[in-house]
DNA sequence: GAAGCTTGTCGAAACGTTTCGCAAAGCTAA
DNA sequence: TTAGCTTTGCGAAACGTTTCGACAAGCTTC
């Protein structure tokens, strides 16, 4: 690989002049500059990132800290990475994929001590997250995909949960539903600190109240079996509910099975929609489910983008904080509520051709 | 951040001695070594990757070149990245996620010219892949996830398609099926060079023949609509087929819908299985589909691992080439063939409770 | 007790950049 | 004409490592 010195020799100038010409850090006479650029092109010169980083203290490398894939780690989370990598690439940066081991703080200490990365991108941020505290204290540049309970002046890109809930409720209310239920993630273990679950729950309740709709929000389901049970309880305790939004893909599987066992059909007897699931997942179901698709790649892009902004621009400008709307993808699982469900319930032995979801 | 010099001062030795002691590249007296290690620990010393890489020409960074997410880019492909990142991390390496732009060769030229990465990990390798040619010619270390038609001495980790097909056929034959069909990806566009589609097709045919089973392999489907049409044709042209393996998730959606429209049930009237789809996807279906889950994360791990082996060990040892089996995840969609399908076909207005897949 | 090893440590060079003080011009203004 | 300024380019230092020849001391061996 040719170096700055090779270019300097070929262009008959000093090394420092080449550096200045190529980076534009100092004025260089037009003629000289052209000569240098030609020499560089002829040699196929590429600046060595390591040498540059060593002296300038800036490597143009970002690290995305990603947690060990828990079960339930899906396409959505992965798109943070691809979105961030693309945004970084477009701006001349690189993205390091850094798996988080058992001790995230030790991992951070290691990563930042390497001198390899200019900034860190955090995902799967919990409402109370020790990583943000450590990074802030260490004064290391970072941004979040998601956010803590009190983001303060930390940069972040997150889902606009209020708007998402508003859109969902508007969609259902627009179809004529008067009472809806929301199956959230379970509150135990990881989810206790899981921002999306908590924020979605709160916002759904608020949106339903504002729209003057009946609302059942205290059901949880993270698996098919839990989804099934939750549905059974829902039907027993809240027969007025005609529309259901589910957070967890697996729970939806259970709900759908239970609905069928009841002799009900979707969407004739129940409107079912996913929340924060990608359209690719939603269309695996039958009928194709309506979903509010999270803007995952966009969040990744934004997270990386604002981190680069912070790195290249003023280090202590105002916080960059963005909330992004979800996309409502209407499937075949949304419909007006049944006029009289008890009547329909008896009607369950419909011709099989009807069972495919109706709208296709 | 403390440097080697700080450690040297604190331990009262020369810089080079510290380097030797910490890396073990030269013998250092036990007492001195201990003193140095303590000083390093007290200062929280971390070697600067950039400086080290600059002189040693080894950065311990790998790049995973990942293509722009085409549609159909799923969990499976993403797990290559996480697997590779984990394997790298365990061995003290880092993984750079490098999005491939319109011109892969230019991208490679850029990436390798940076001096930033020691080796490149290729995924989505086509049967005839210009990237492998360029890298081989440039003499730049790399390995493949997947493989070209003639891998020669290039390192790779790929799916064991022969075994996969054998397992699938054995599973179906074991249930008593005598004739099966395989819906492959379509042959146009990208898939024309898509190794998994071609190899799976070939191996399926071979395995079916070897098992003495009837086989229909010339159907293609990449979408729900195509799946539906392919199924209709299959039923019309090959009524003897009782088991169907499908490559594409979306095609499976269409097949299931068409099956229902026929008044058939899975698995009572037809055994349906996925091929090379993750279990997470398979269990979104209803009934839960049997699948041959690709060992994606494992392939990522292996790909990174063999690249690191190559980098640290002998550069021109024998090729490291690994084929990994898929995991058969039995769902609720596999069952013995119907005794007499015409009889069952009339029986389609079964009580709704039966429609959930039976085995749950 | 000198020659020859071995062991342990040092110092300096090198890697390829960026940065910055400095100087040689050429120009302007008095 | 000369002092002062601007423009342009140079050279050296620095970044934090690794690598390697040199060398001092201690040991063996005859």
3-state secondary structure chain B: CCCHHHHHHHHCCCHHHHHHHHHCCCCCCHHHHHHHHHHHHHHCCCCCHHHHHHHHCCCCEEEEEECCCCCCCCHHHHHHHHHHHHHHHHCCCEEEEEECCCCHHHHHHHHHHCCCCCEEEECCCECCCHHHHHHHHHCCCEEEECCCCCCCCCEEEEECHHHHHHHHHHHHHHHCCCEEEEEECCCCHHHHHEHHHHHHHHHHHHHHHHCCCEEEEEEECCCHHHHHHHHHHHHHHCCCCCEEEECCHHHHHHHHHHHHHCCCCCCCCCEEEEECCCHHHHCCCCCCCEEEECCHHHHHHHHHHHHHHHHHCCCCCCCCEEEECCEEECCCCCCCCCCCHHHHHHCCCCCHHHHHCCCC
Q: What is the largest CA-CA distance in chain A?
A: 92
- List Cβ neighbours of A236 (8 Å cut-off, separation of 6 or more): none
Does residue B73 carry a pLDDT above 70?
no
Q: Residue A95's closest CA among A298, A303, A296, A278?
A: A303
Chain A contact present for B26, CB below 8 A: no
Does residue A340 carry a pLDDT above 70?
no
Q: Which nucleotides of C are covered by protein (CB under 7 A)?
A: 7-12, 14-21
Nearest residue of A to residue B356, measured between CA atoms: A257
DSSP string, A230-267: HHHHHHHH-TT--EEEES-HHHHHHHHHHHHHTT--TT
Lowest-pLDDT choice from A100-114, A309-323, B87-101, B185-199: B185-199
Q: What is the pLDDT of residue B286?
A: 81
Does residue A67 carry a pLDDT above 80?
yes
Q: What is the pLDDT of residue B65?
A: 95
**Chain A interface, best mutation among B94, B138, B277, by max A CB count within 10 A:** B94
Q: What is the pLDDT of residue A186?
A: 85
DSSP state of A126: B
Nearest residue of A to residue B253, measured between CA atoms: A284
Q: In what order do the strands lie in the sheet with A179-184?
A: A214-220, A179-184, A243-246, A271-275, A290-293, A327-329
pLDDT tens-digit readout, A228-274: 999 999 999 999 999 999 999 999 999 999 999 899 998 999 999 99
Backbone angles phi, psi at B110, to 5 degrees: -60, -55
Question: Measured from the CB, is B45 under 7 Å from any atom of strand D?
Answer: yes
**Which nt has its C1' nearest the CA of B20?**
D18
Q: Residue B311's closest CA among B128, B53, B72, B17?
A: B53
Assign B341 a pLDDT band (cuts: 50, 70, 90).
Answer: low
- For residues B140-169, give the mean pLDDT: 96
Chain A 38..67 CB hits on strand D (< 7 A): 51, 54-55
Chain A contact present for B284, CB below 8 A: yes
Of A291 and B186, more confident: A291
Q: What is the residue whose two structure tokens read 């390591």?
A: A50
As assigned by CATH, the class of the A4-47 domain is mainly alpha
Q: What is the pLDDT of residue B31?
A: 92
Chain B contact present for A344, CB below 8 A: no
Does residue A348 carry a pLDDT above 50?
no
For nucleic chain C, give residues with Cβ below 7 angstroms from it. Answer: A 1, 3-5, 15-16, 19-20, 22-23, 25-26, 45-48, 51-52, 54-56; B 12-17, 20, 26-33, 51, 54-55, 115
- For residues B46-56, give the mean pLDDT: 95
What are the residue boundaries of the structural domains of chain B, listed by start?
4-47, 61-159+296-324, 161-294+330-356
- For residues A23-41, give the mean pLDDT: 93
How many whole angstroms separate alpha carbon B191 and alpha carbon B226?
A: 15
Assign A347 a pLDDT band (cuts: 50, 70, 90).
Answer: very low
Distance B52 CA to C15 C1' (A): 9
- For residues A293-302, give the mean pLDDT: 96
Question: Does the distance separating the beta carbons of B113 and A283 come in below 8 Å?
Answer: no
Q: What is the pLDDT of residue A58?
A: 92
Question: Whole-number mean pLDDT of chain B?
Answer: 89
Assign A63 a pLDDT band (cuts: 50, 70, 90).
Answer: very high
**Which nt has its C1' nearest the CA of B19?**
D18
pLDDT tens-digit readout, A127-158: 999 999 999 999 999 999 999 999 999 999 99
Percent over 90 (pLDDT), chain A: 76
Closest CB from B49, B81, B224 relative to A81: B81
Q: What is the pLDDT of residue A71?
A: 57
Chain A residues 216-245 with a CB less than 8 Å from chain B: 224
Assign A114 a pLDDT band (cuts: 50, 70, 90).
Answer: very high
Collapsing DSSP states into helix, strand and coil, what is residue A24?
coil
- For residues A38-43, give the mean pLDDT: 95
Q: What is the pLDDT of residue A338?
A: 87
- For residues B20-25, give the mean pLDDT: 93
Domain B61-159+296-324 in CATH 3.30.930.10: no
Of A351 and A13, more confident: A13
Chain B contact present for A136, CB below 8 A: no
CATH for A164-294+330-356 is: 3.40.50.2300
CATH for B161-294+330-356 is: 3.40.50.2300
Confirm whether A61-159+296-325 and A164-294+330-356 share one CATH topology. Answer: yes
pLDDT tens-digit readout, B274-314: 999 999 889 888 889 999 999 999 999 999 999 999 998 76
Does residue A93 carry a pLDDT above 50?
yes
Does residue B121 carry a pLDDT above 70?
yes
Q: Residue B322's closest CA among B344, B337, B304?
A: B304
Give the number of beta-carbon pairs within 8 Å between A and B: 165
Collapsing DSSP states into helix, strand and coil, what is residue A195?
helix
Contact between residue B19 and residue B4 where contact means Cβ atoms under 8 Å apart:
yes
The crossing angle, in degrees rounded to 10, of helices B161-175 and B195-210 is: 40
Q: What is the pLDDT of residue A131?
A: 96
Chain A contact present for B49, CB below 8 A: yes
Instruction: State the smallest CA–CA distance between residue A250 and chain B in angstroms.
Output: 7
Q: What is the pLDDT of residue A121?
A: 97
Domain A61-159+296-325 in CATH 3.40.50.2300: yes
- For residues A329-337, give the mean pLDDT: 94
Question: Whole-number mean pLDDT of chain A?
Answer: 89
Q: What is the pLDDT of residue B193?
A: 81
Query: Could you tell me whether strands A290-293 and A327-329 are parallel, antiparallel, or unpaired per DSSP bridges?
Result: antiparallel
**Which nt has its C1' nearest the CA of B28?**
C8
């Amino acid at each position: 690989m040719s170096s700055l010195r090779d270019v300097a020799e070929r262009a008959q100038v000093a090394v420092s002049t080449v550096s200045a010409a190529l980076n534009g850090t100092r004025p260089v006479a037009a003629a000289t500059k052209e000569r240098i650029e030609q020499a560089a092109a002829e040699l196929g010169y590429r600046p060595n990132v390591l040498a540059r980083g060593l002296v300038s203290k800036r490597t143009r490398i970002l690290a995305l800290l990603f947690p060990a894939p828990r079960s339930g780690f899906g396409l959505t989370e992965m798109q943070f990475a691809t979105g961030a990598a693309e945004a970084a690439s477009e701006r001349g940066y690189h993205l390091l994929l850094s798996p988080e081991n058992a001790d995230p703080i030790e991992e951070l200490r290691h990563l930042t001590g390497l001198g390899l990365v200019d900034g860190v991108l955090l995902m799967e941020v919990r409402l109370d997250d020790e990583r943000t505290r450590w990074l802030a204290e260490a004064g290391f540049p970072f941004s979040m995909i998601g956010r803590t309970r009190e983001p303060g002046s930390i940069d972040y890109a997150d889902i606009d949960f209020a708007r998402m809930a508003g859109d969902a409720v508007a969609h259902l209310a627009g179809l004529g539903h008067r009472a809806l239920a929301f199956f959230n993630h379970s509150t135990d273990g990881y989810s206790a600190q899981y921002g999306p679950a908590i924020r979605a729950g709160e916002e759904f309740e608020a949106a339903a109240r504002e729209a003057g709709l009946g609302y059942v929000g205290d059901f949880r389901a993270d698996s098919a079996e839990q989804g099934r049970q939750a549905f059974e309880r829902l039907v027993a305790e809240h027969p007025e509910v005609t529309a259901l939004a589910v957070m967890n893909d697996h729970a939806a599987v259970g709900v759908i099975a239970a609905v069928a066992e009841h002799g009900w059909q979707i969407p004739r007897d129940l409107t079912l929609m996913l929340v924060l699931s990608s359209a690719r997942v939603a269309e695996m179901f039958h009928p194709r489910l309506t979903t509010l698709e999270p803007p995952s790649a966009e969040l990744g892009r934004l997270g990386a983008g604002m981190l680069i902004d912070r790195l290249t621009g003023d280090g202590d400008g105002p916080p960059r904080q963005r909330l992004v709307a979800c996309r409502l993808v209407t499937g075949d699982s949304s419909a007006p509520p049944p006029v009289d469900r008890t009547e329909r319930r008896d009607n369950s032995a419909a011709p099989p051709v009807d069972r495919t979801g109706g709208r296709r």
